[in-house]
């Protein structure tokens, strides 16, 4: 058993990362310079990085340690949350190394193993965190080669973990194949599937809001809640060459399968018995298992709306239609907007629909969850008007992170008239400082062995099982649901509004 | 530093309302009530500067109280102002309000009454008591506060002040936590020491440590004592004797002797250096003047490891910001205080 450092015991309430070497596959990609290295640097700036931590960038391009460090320094100056300190960078960057190899080249992995042993001899400690930040088609290649040279097997008393970036498969079959490959290479407990939404403070706060405040949980059920809306609006299209990837994925796979379903799980889950990783993930996965299946393509058509934007105006600028965007096929049948009506068949949520929507080229960027409570049973005030007295609890995920509660209040004056007002909590106003980047928290947790904020195999597969029903109806059925259109800069297709109107509801104005 | 607009006591709330209504782009932010008490009339300007820094991190309603107990004619004057910074991408100002009071020659209950009349209800009350406790530190006040901030390095009679602190804390109606800025001064030093012993080679040699040398800057020996008491508590070392009063102490480290030596040196930081030595091990923590980092170095017979730990806390405002960011383990503080008291008595 490893000895415990007595001096660390009362210093931190969060997971403490262990000394290790982080190997980033695909290190010349965007994520490394924009997110991963700034995240590690900021962890160091907070004094939480193990002193002997080493970082090895594994990629195909020709670089030296020095040129790699220099490139990363430029990017860190630009993207570091806490700015850039030359002295700290100088110490931090001495532990960054570059390893050039093709992903399929076994000999490259043998050289990597030698390098890692050398770094261990320099104090890295023997633990390894393999971060797969490559294009998804290389995930299994890298896993296979790691196993081929035995790097997946931890040294005695040490650990080897793998972090896998999204997309985790493109459907259930590919996700299962990737999971099988991952589980043949690493233990499930050592496999960390990243969903960066779970690293966001606002997502983590959903559980705190629900389970640390006694006033919410008693009304968090079908008796008091009418419906829930989860909206993710983006005011961008396919800028920066994103079209190539996006047109193969679509927003259902790109955002709903992972991020939005994670939010559904956090809102709908039962209280976990404890805060252990599996305690929480057990409850989350139960929500996915209770999602009502679609009977056929017609059922999908009734509950899911897909659409593409046509030319319009966003933020005062002309925007092309989806099919006219860079790297998008002119006859593309990929959705840039999707709205879903989800039913959860369990005691708590019987009869409470969850409406999800995600779209590109909408008027503004915003992600939020709104919990719409039922109206008071007997309307005493504002009778005969169209005013909706229902309370709405809004959890703003981004931007302007916070929580607000819509309540009715008497309008000052002699008559008894009421108006909606907001009780508002803003992170920025209350806490007065920026939250850490999601990747900082997630990297810390991966190094500390805390998998709570990472997706488990059954979670990922269950989410794909649900999403595949829709994808199959869209692409493989004889009568596929139609692809609707909306002008760029509008709030989506009319059919999406009609889906809610049929239930006597409306989308919340973001 | 301006205290803002002087207002009659009875009009404070109304004038604050006007202040917020006058600026369209101002958003009032508050996470707590933060009262600062000092028995020095000139403290208002100095503390306004501190509050300006603190509110960058901790939005609050600040209540500054300066007391002049010996004044002949009783009087209370008040000023209101706001500390604003740009938020939301520079589009609006997020502001914290400040009410300053100058209390001259009034009875003991005036301070507590002044504070309680102007706190934002439902938000916790933190009181930073500057200097030695006086007659204004009375149960009516301390049983209502949530957090007490003190700086034991500033006390003129520390042993007597610790007595008052412990008896107030022990009052049946007290619920405050103790947040000593002296303890905060060594927070990052503790982190740096912990980080050095994250190194398995160093950790394996911890049971062989024979000496600890702590250098303090003048006026900050209390910080050094708290650091030593904490290290001893965590490592299981017990104070066994005094070799040289106030300077050299002996600890029982599981049957072996460990010496602790304090020395003094002019420096910008409270504790510029800590060195632990044992056979085959030297752990040093150095804070150079002008540096915002603690340079940690672990030397064993087989390797040398170095690391930098950020140390952003030096000014009173920085210390308060750091202190408010964290919870406080008051139980641990009082446990360590026993060793600190023993060292002071020695």
Helix pair angle (A438-448, A37-45), 10° resolution: 80
Q: Quick check: A125 and B88 CB within 8 A?
A: no
Helix (H, G, I), strand (E, B) or coil at A232: strand
Give B310's contacts in chain A (Cβ within 8 Å): 45-47, 88
Q: Which two tokens stand for residue B132?
A: 């030695």
Q: Does A7 touch chain B (CB under 8 A)?
A: yes
Start-end of H helices in A334-414: none
- Calpha distance B189→B310 (Å, rounded): 9
Give, in order, the Cα–Cα distances in Å from A171 to each of A263, A270, A278, A335, A468: 20, 27, 24, 16, 6
At residue A226, the pLDDT reads: 97
Name the token pair of A10: 């009362």
Instruction: Closest CB to A429: pick one of B56, B94, B307.
Output: B94
Residues of A labelled as active-site residues: 259
**Would you state the pLDDT for residue B62?**
95
- Taking Cα atoms as reference points, which of A118, A100, A97 lies closest to residue A109? A100
Q: In what order do the strands lie in the sheet with A54-59?
A: A96-100, A54-59, A21-25, A128-132, A160-164, A191-193
Predicted local distance difference test score (pLDDT) of residue A192: 95
- Residue recorded with tokens 């982190």: B191
Q: Which residues pair with A303 in a beta bridge?
A: none
- Which residues are B178's β-sheet partners? B148
Question: pLDDT (tens digit, 9 = 90+) per residue, B269-315?
Answer: 999 999 999 999 999 999 999 888 899 999 998 888 888 888 877 89
Question: What contacts A430, CB < 8 A, 6 or more positions away?
Answer: B29, B30, B31, B59
To test the contact with chain B by mutation, choose from A4, A5, A15, A448 the residue with the greatest count of B C-beta atoms within 10 A, namely: A5
* 8 Å CB contact of B55 and A432: yes
Sheet holding A337-342, edge to edge: A418-426, A402-410, A392-398, A366-373, A225-233, A354-359, A337-342, A304-310, A483-487
pLDDT band at B1 (very low <50, low <70, confident <90, very high): low
Contacts with A85 from chain B: Cβ below 8 Å: 292
pLDDT at A338: 97
- In a mutational test of the B interface, the residue from A432, A436, A448 whose CB has the highest number of chain B CBs within 10 Å is A432
pLDDT score of A376: 82
ipTM of the complex: 0.85
**Which tokens is B40 given?**
């020095």
Q: Which residues of chain B neighbour A426 with C-beta distances below 8 Å?
A: 27, 29
Q: Which uninterrupted H or E stretch holds B242?
A: strand B238-244
Residues in chain B: 346
Would the CB atoms of B94 and A8 count as touching at under 8 Å?
A: no
pLDDT at site B113? 86
A157 touches chain B (CB under 8 A): no
Q: Are B123 and B133 in contact (CB under 8 A)?
A: no
Q: Which residues of chain A from 18 to 57 reach within 8 Å of chain B, CB to CB? A: 19, 44-47, 50-52
Q: Which of A7, A88, A122 sits opposite B308 (nearest CB)?
A: A88
Record: contact B29-A429, CB cut-off 8 A:
yes
Compute the distance between CA of residue B159 and CA of residue B162 in angstroms, rounded to an integer. 5
Backbone angles phi, psi at A505, to 5 degrees: -130, 170
Most A-contacting residue of B85, B96, B200 (CB-CB within 10 A), to test interface: B200
Q: How confident is the model at residue B223 (pLDDT cuts 50, 70, 90)?
A: very high
Mean pLDDT, range B252-276, rounded to an integer: 95
CB contact under 8 A, B296 and A51: yes
Helical ranges in B29-157 per DSSP H = 43-57, 109-118, 139-142
For residues A233-263, one letter each, b for 16 or more C-beta atoms within 10 angstroms of the residue's C-beta and e for the rest, the string is: bbbebbeeebbeebbebbbbbbbbbbbbbbb
Q: What pLDDT was estimated at residue B38?
A: 96
Instruction: Flag residues of chain A having pLDDT under 50.
Output: none
Six-digit token string for A489: 């800069």
A442: Cβ–Cβ under 8 A, 6 or more apart, which residues? A192, A194, A196, A198, A199, A453, A454
- Cα–Cα distance, B242 to B247 (Å, whole number): 8
Of B197, B305, B307, the CB nearest to A5: B197
A418 in contact with B at a CB cutoff of 8 Å?
no
Tokens of A249: 């994925």
Alpha helices per DSSP H over A214-329: 243-251, 261-268, 277-289, 297-303
Alpha helices (H) along B283-329? 316-325
Q: Are A188 and A156 in contact (CB under 8 A)?
A: no
Given 3-state DSSP classes, what are the helix, strand and coil percentages for chain A, each rounded to the nearest 5?
A: 40, 20, 40
Are the beta carbons of B193 and B231 closer than 8 angstroms? yes
Q: Which chain B residues touch A429 with a CB distance below 8 Å?
A: 27-29, 59, 87, 94
Residue of B nearest to A435 (CA): B57
Per-residue pLDDT tens over the stretch A124-181: 889 999 999 998 889 999 999 999 999 999 999 899 999 998 888 999 999 999 999 9
* B231·A429 Cβ contact <8 A: no
- Whether B90 shows a pLDDT value over 60: the answer reads no
pLDDT digits (tens, 9 = 90+) for A61-85: 999 999 999 999 999 999 998 889 8
B65 near B38, Cβ under 8 Å? yes
Q: Is pLDDT above 80 for B136?
A: yes
Which of A8, A123, A430 has the CB atom closest to B194's CB atom?
A8
Query: In which band, very low, low, confident or very high, does the pLDDT at B105 lie, cut at 50, 70 and 90?
Result: confident
Q: How far is A508 from chain B (nearest CA, A)?
A: 23
What pLDDT sits at residue A195? 87
Interchain CB distance below 8 Å, B310 and A125? no
CA atoms within 13 A on the CB side of A155: 13
Size of interface A-B (CB pairs under 8 A): 100
Q: Given this model, what pLDDT does residue B25 score? A: 59
In terms of Cα–Cα distance, which of A403, A377, A404 is closest to A390? A377
The whole-angstrom distance between residue A118's C-alpha and the CA centroid of its chain comes to 36
Strand A160-164 to A128-132 pairing: parallel
Question: Closest Cα partner for A419 from A385, A394, A393?
Answer: A385
- Residue A9, chain B, CB below 8 Å: the answer is yes
d(C-alpha B98, C-alpha A119), whole Å: 54
A10 and B234 in contact by Cβ < 8 A? Answer: yes
Nearest to A47 among B310, B329, B332 (CB): B310
DSSP B185: H
Please report the sign of the dihedral spanned by the C-alpha atoms of residue B11, residue B17, residue B23, residue B28.
positive
For residue B193, list chain A residues with Cβ-Cβ distance below 8 A: 7
**HSE, side-chain direction, 13 A CA sphere, residue B192:** 33
- The answer to whether the Cβ–Cβ distance between A429 and B195 falls below 8 Å is no
Mean pLDDT of B104-110: 78
B5-57 pLDDT, tens digit per residue, is 999 988 888 888 888 777 665 677 778 899 999 999 899 999 999 999 998 88
CA distance B313 to chain A (A): 13
pLDDT band at B93 (very low <50, low <70, confident <90, very high): confident
Structure tokens at B123: 């938000």
Distance from CA of A430 to the nearest CA of B (A): 5
User: Average per-residue pLDDT in chain B?
Assistant: 90
If you ran DSSP here, which 8-state letter would residue A254 be given? I
Rounded to 5°, angle at Cα A257 from A501 and A261: 65
The verdict on a CB contact (< 8 Å) between A10 and B332 is yes
CA distance A310 to A407: 38
Residue B313 CA to chain centroid, in angstroms?
Answer: 10
- Closest Cα of chain A to B27: distance in Å? 8
Candidate from B198, B291, B308 with C-beta closest to A5 = B198
* DSSP classification of residue A7: G
Measured distance CA(B253)–CA(B264) in Å, rounded: 25
Q: What is the rounded CA–CA span in Å between residue A435 and residue A461?
A: 31
CA distance B178 to B170: 12
Question: What does the block give as tokens for B191?
Answer: 């982190």
CB contact under 8 A, B199 and A123: yes
Whats the size of chain A, residue-wise? 510
Ramachandran angles phi, psi of A356, nearest 5°: -115, 140
pTM: 0.78
DSSP 8-state class, residue A119: H
């Amino acid at each position: 058993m490893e000895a415990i450092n007595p001096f660390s015991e009362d210093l931190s309430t969060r997971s403490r990362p262990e000394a290790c070497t982080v190997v980033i596959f695909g290190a010349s990609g965007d994520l490394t310079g924009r997110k991963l290295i700034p995240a590690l640097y900021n962890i160091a700036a907070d004094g939480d990085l193990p002193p002997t931590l080493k970082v090895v960038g594994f990629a195909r391009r020709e670089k030296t340690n020095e040129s790699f460090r220099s490139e990363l320094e430029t990017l860190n100056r630009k993207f570091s949350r806490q700015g850039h300190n030359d002295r700290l960078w100088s110490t931090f960057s001495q532990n960054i190394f570059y390893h050039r190899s093709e992903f399929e080249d076994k000999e490259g992995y043998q050289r990597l193993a030698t390098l890692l042993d050398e770094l261990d001899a320099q104090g890295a400690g023997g633990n390894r965190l393999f971060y797969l930040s490559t294009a998804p088609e290389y995930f299994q290649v890298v896993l296979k080669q790691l196993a081929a040279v035995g790097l997946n097997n931890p040294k005695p008393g040490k650990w080897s973990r793998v972090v896998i970036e999204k997309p985790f498969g493109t459907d259930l079959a590919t996700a299962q194949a990737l999971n099988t490959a991952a589980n043949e290479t690493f233990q499930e407990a050592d496999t960390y599937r990243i969903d960066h939404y779970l690293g966001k403070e606002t997502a983590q706060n959903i559980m705190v809001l629900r389970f640390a405040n006694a006033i919410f949980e008693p009304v968090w059920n079908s008796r008091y809640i009418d419906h829930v809306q989860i909206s993710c609006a983006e005011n961008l299209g396919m800028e920066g060459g994103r079209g190539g990837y996006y047109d193969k994925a679509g927003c259902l796979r790109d955002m709903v399968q992972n991020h939005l379903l994670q939010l559904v799980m956090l809102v709908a889950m039962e209280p976990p018995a404890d805060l252990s990783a599996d305690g929480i993930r057990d409850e989350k996965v139960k929500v996915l298992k209770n999602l009502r299946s679609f009977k056929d393509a017609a059922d999908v058509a009734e509950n899911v709306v897909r659409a593409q934007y046509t030319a319009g105006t966003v933020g005062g600028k002309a925007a092309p239609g989806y099919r006219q965007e860079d790297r998008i096929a002119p006859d593309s049948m990929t959705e840039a907007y999707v709205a879903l009506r989800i039913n959860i068949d369990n005691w708590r949520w019987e009869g409470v629909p969850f409406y999800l929507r995600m779209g590109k080229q909408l008027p503004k960027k915003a992600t939020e969850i709104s919990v719409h409570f039922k109206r008071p049973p007997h309307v005493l005030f504002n009778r005969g008007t169209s005013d909706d007295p229902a309370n709405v609890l809004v959890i703003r995920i981004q931007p302007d992170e916070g929580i607000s509660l819509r309540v009715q209040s008497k309008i000052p004056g002699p008559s008894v008239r009421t108006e909606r007002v907001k009780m508002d909590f803003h992170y920025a106003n209350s806490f007065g400082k920026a939250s850490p980047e999601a990747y900082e928290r997630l990297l810390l947790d991966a190094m500390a062995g805390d998998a709570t904020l990472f997706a488990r195999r059954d979670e990922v597969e269950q989410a794909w099982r649900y999403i595949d029903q829709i994808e199959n109806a869209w692409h493989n059925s004889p009568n596929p649901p139609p692809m609707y259109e909306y002008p760029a800069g509008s709030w989506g297709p009319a059919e999406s509004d009609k889906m809610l109107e049929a239930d006597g509801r409306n989308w919340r104005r973001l | 530093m301006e205290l803002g607009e002087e207002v009659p006591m009875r009009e404070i709330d109304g004038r604050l309302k006007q202040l917020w209504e006058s600026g369209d782009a101002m958003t009032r932010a508050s996470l707590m009530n933060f009262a600062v008490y000092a028995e020095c009339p000139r403290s208002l300007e100095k503390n306004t500067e501190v509050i300006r820094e603190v509110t960058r991190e901790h939005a609050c309603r600040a209540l500054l109280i300066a007391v002049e107990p010996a004044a002949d004619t009783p009087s209370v004057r008040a000023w209101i102002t706001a500390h604003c910074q740009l938020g939301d991408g520079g589009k609006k100002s997020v502001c914290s309000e400040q009410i300053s009071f100058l209390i001259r020659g009034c009875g003991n209950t005036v301070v507590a009454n002044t504070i309680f009349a102007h706190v934002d209800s439902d938000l916790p009350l933190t009181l930073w008591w500057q200097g030695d406790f006086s007659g204004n530190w009375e149960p009516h006040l301390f049983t209502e506060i949530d957090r007490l901030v003190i700086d034991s390095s500033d006390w003129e009679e520390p042993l007597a002040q610790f007595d008052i602190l412990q008896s107030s804390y022990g009052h049946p109606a007290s619920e405050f936590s103790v947040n000593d800025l002296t303890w905060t001064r060594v927070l990052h030093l503790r982190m740096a020491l912990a980080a050095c012993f994250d190194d398995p080679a160093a950790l394996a040699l911890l049971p062989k440590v024979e000496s600890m040398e702590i250098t303090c800057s003048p006026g900050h020996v209390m910080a050094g004592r708290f650091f030593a008491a904490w290290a001893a508590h965590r490592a299981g070392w017990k104070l066994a004797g005094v070799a040289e009063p106030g300077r050299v102490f002996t600890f029982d480290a599981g049957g072996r002797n460990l010496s602790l030596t304090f020395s003094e040196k002019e420096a910008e930081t409270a504790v510029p250096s800590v060195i632990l030595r044992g056979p085959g091990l030297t752990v040093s923590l150095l804070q150079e003047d002008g540096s915002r980092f603690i340079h940690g170095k672990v030397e064993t017979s087989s390797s040398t490891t170095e690391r930098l730990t950020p140390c952003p806390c030096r000014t009173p405002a920085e210390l308060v910001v750091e202190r408010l960011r964290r919870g406080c383990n008051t139980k641990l503080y009082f446990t360590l205080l026993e060793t600190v008291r023993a060292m002071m008595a020695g």
